[in-house]
Chain A
Amino acid sequence: MPSSPALTVPKAQKIMAVLWSSFLVSSLASILFFFTFDPQTALHLDISKMAAYSIGFFLFWLTTGLSSLLTLYFSTPLPQVSSSTHIDEL
């Protein structure tokens, strides 16, 4: 099945799957995080709250985005190795 060209995942879908799912999760994470910790009083950051929220959001997005990227990378189909292939043939 995975060799059928019609079933290849489009590049657009891959890009969006990585960026969008991580965007959603990082929004949720930022809401929960900043709901609990006030950037000025709890984290002692010397910047405006909006800046702190925004930077926090993008750091979360970077993290979740990397994770999505790794998921994508590890979920690509493996090359078919037949059971008879010997280890030193690889």
Chain B
Amino acid sequence: MKSSEENHTTQSIPLETVQESLYAKREKIYPRQVLGLFSRLRITSVFTLLGIYYIFPWLTWDGRQAVLLDLPARKFYIFGLTFWPQDMIFLAFLLIMAGLTLFFFTALAGRLWCGFACPQTVWTEVFLWMERWVEGDRPQQMKLDKAPMSARKFRLKATKHAIWIFFAAYTGLTFVGFFSPIRELCVNLWHFNASTTETFWVFFYGFATYGNAGWLREQICIYMCPYARFQSAMFDKDTMVLAYDTQRGEPRGSRKRGEDYKTAGLGDCVNCTMCVQVCPTGIDIRNGLQYQCISCSACIDICDEVMDKVGYPRGLIRYTTQNILEGGHTHVFRLRIFIYGFLLLSLFLGWMYAISQRSLVELDVMRDRNSLFKETETGFIENVYVVKLMNLDEHAHSFQITAKGIDGLQLELNQTSELKLVSGEILDVPVRLIADPKQLKQRSTDVSFQMQATDAPTNPKLTTVEQARFLGPITR
């Protein structure tokens, strides 16, 4: 590995820095800009994902914010769907499915997620664009950092941080906008009367974005990412990995144009170190698969460019599988893929089915705590309950409550008006059940309450039953 040390010196990184890195001090990484197939894919992905992030809170659906996680009201709106606390299981399964999807794609194509979809990568990419826009590409940035402080350096650094901070603050605002209606939030922030909590979270998330995408960058991937730690468990010899073709590349070395390098005993790698310079995590892919590699494919793009220039075939660094590198064949469709795929598909179908079958009403019956039962003037037994009705449908409905379980059981409401509930409304209704003591066989009798929409009595999703107990005196 002598040559890799030479790389460092040719890149004019002082030797002290290299030695310090043995003591694990971080060396600042200046990824060089690269253009190519994969970087275009990443740009597309950045625009799509950040587009979703920044635009979704502004969309309206049915007169409300389309995506709103209303924590105080304990309901989550996601386009046409509304999730209530009792629907948490659906969200939990959504997370499980997201996890399985990640497993599936990791087994199939390695760390695709890291290089193209992870928020850390996506935001860092945008921060890198802004940095390059102000300070220039890698060589200019390195020169600027080495130069003593001057008016120009100060101006460039101040501009960069100002742009970063502005962008990060807007990111924080958008984040809070997923939890409290974003239009009101903007107006309130503008007039300095947003609540302390909201203001705090705008700053907190903004600060985290600035710190993670501006300063910490690859350290997040290396030290904080749980996925990076266990992804190797999902790999097998047929997983697509990004690798340097050692057989073809070595021995590496610089050469003169037109020289017959093969007779000179050289491989295809011209040792230009471009692959190291573009790497956002600062590693040398030629040292083999490394845990730090986020599969961003920047080194593929740049090496292909180098190969084009020197007139060698592309693909010295490429997506391949371990089986192919070892000279064998690879199978895309293998057991692991089938198992992940099958699990994923069945979970998804089950989830869709369960969502479509979900009950749209909710009924809760609580006994009045103050009295067990009461005897009426006419000698009947009365129990008092509070019935909680909930309409989880998108539309308003009128409801009717009935009770059964004892012969001749009567149900009386204090209010005579219709029980009309708008979407999402919860209504507490005091209810009295009156029974003839002759019908009571024991101290406690099971009764059942039924709630039914009067405008759609046959819709099973708008009907529900809840059990309760009716207490009476001990007879005989």
The residues of A with any CB-CB pair to B shorter than 8 Å are 5-6, 8-10, 12-13, 16-17, 20, 35, 38, 48-51, 53-54
B327 within 8 A of A: no
A84 CA to B203 CA, complexed, in Å: 57
Known contacts A6-B22, A10-B26, A50-B198; is-contact A17 B223 (Cβ 8 Å): yes
* Assembly CA distance A39 to B88 (angstroms): 18
Nearest Cβ on chain B to A69's Cβ, whole angstroms:
16
B454 contacts A by Cβ under 8 Å: no
Residues of B within 8 A of A38 (CB): 74
Residue pair B22, A20 in contact (C-beta under 8 Å): no
- CA A30 to CA B466, docked complex, whole Å: 30
Out of A12, A13, A48, which one reaches B72, CB within 8 Å? A48
State whether A50 and B223 are in contact (beta carbons under 8 Å apart), knowing that A6-B22, A35-B85 are contacts in the complex: no
B380 near A: Cβ within 8 Å?
no
Q: A16-B219, A35-B85 are in contact. Are A54 and B201 (CB under 8 A)?
A: yes
Complex CA distance for A5 and B20, rounded to whole angstroms: 10
Chain B neighbourhood of A49, CB < 8 A: 71-72
A-B contact pairs, 15 of them (CB 8 A): A6-B22, A6-B23, A10-B24, A12-B26, A13-B222, A16-B219, A20-B223, A20-B224, A35-B88, A48-B72, A48-B195, A48-B197, A50-B179, A51-B196, A54-B197
Provide the residues of chain A in CB contact with B71, threshold 8 Å.
49-50, 53
- Number of B residues, CB within 8 Å of A: 24
Q: Which B residues are closer than 8 A to A by beta carbons?
A: 22-26, 71-72, 74, 85, 88, 179-180, 195-198, 200-201, 216, 219-220, 222-224
Whether B88 lies near A50 (C-beta < 8 A) is no
What separation, in Å, do the CA atoms of A6 and B24 have in the docked complex? 7
Residues of A within 8 A of B222 (CB): 13
Question: Do A8 and B24 touch across chains, with their CB atoms under 8 A apart?
Answer: yes
Q: From residue B475, how far is it (CB to closest CB) to chain A in Å?
A: 38
Determine whether the beta carbon of A5 is less than 8 Å from that of B219. Answer: no
Closest Cβ neighbor of B220 among chain A residues: A16
Q: Which of B22, B24, B197, B219 contacts A50 (CB 8 A)?
A: B197
Output the least CB separation between A58 and chain B (Å).
10
A51 touches B195 (CB 8 A): yes
**Nearest 8 CB-CB pairings of A with B:** A10-B24, A49-B72, A50-B197, A13-B223, A16-B223, A51-B197, A20-B224, A16-B224
- Which of these, B23, B74, B85, contacts A8 with CB under 8 Å? B23
Could you tell me if B25 and A10 are in contact, using CB atoms closer than 8 angstroms? yes
Residues of B within 8 A of A50 (CB): 71-72, 179-180, 195, 197-198
Choose one: B22, B200, B223, B224; the contact of A5 (CB below 8 Å).
Answer: B22
